Amino acid sequence: MFMGEYRHTIDDKGRIIIPAKFRDELGKTFVVTRGLDNCLFAYPSPEWQQLEQKLKTLPFTRSDARAFTRFFFSGATEVELDKQGRINVPGNLRQYAKLEKECVVLGVSNRVEIWSKRIWEDYFQESEESFNDIAEKLVDLEL
């Protein structure tokens, strides 16, 4: 399970350090793709394969299912940790997530998320204000 929040920078070549606590579970190679809310999702290969199997069951006759799978898979790329524990984030993914200098790397249960620091702080502040309302809605899910 991934958890925690870490601040890192991304260099001009698109390299970012993956926190040491995440590296073992992610593995030497793993998949990074476009996530929701303008961040990137990173999945260990076994988790990615499970997700891929689930998405394959979506009916291709539904336009929303086709749109989501296109969005999700077209941005996916396999990355490899270098000796310093960094990955190289492709330009199209850096652009999508608006990754500049300062970034935030989050552990979120079965995945890692990579955020622009500015976008994360805006999102966090907005979500923090409605956290109680969100929690009340999730009570119905027996959490």
Alpha carbon 7 to chain centroid, angstroms? 15
Residue 86 pLDDT more than 90? yes
Chain segment 18-58, per-residue pLDDT in tens: 999 999 999 999 999 999 999 999 999 999 999 999 998 99
**Distance, CA of 112 to CA of 102 (rounded, Å):** 17
- Sign of the alpha-carbon dihedral angle for 104, 106, 112, 113: negative
In this prediction, residues 106-122 reach a mean pLDDT of 97
Residue 130 pLDDT more than 90? no
Q: Considering the chain, what is the average pLDDT of its residues?
A: 93
CA distances (Å), 41 to each of 37, 38, 56, 76, 133, in order?
A: 10, 10, 19, 9, 25
- According to DSSP, the residues that pair with 114 across neighbouring strands are 40, 105
Q: Are 21 and 107 in contact (CB under 8 A)?
A: yes
Which residues, 6+ apart, have CB-to-CB distance to 124 below 8 Å?
none
CATH architecture of 2-117: 3-Layer(aba) Sandwich (3.40)
- Sign of the alpha-carbon dihedral angle for 13, 9, 123, 75: positive
pTM: 0.91
CA dihedral 59, 61, 65, 66 (to 10 degrees): 120
**Distance, CA of 50 to CA of 53 (rounded, Å):** 5
**Six token digits for residue 71:** 């969005």
Range of lowest pLDDT (14-23, 77-86, 104-113, 128-137):
128-137
- Residue ranges covered by each domain of the chain: 2-117
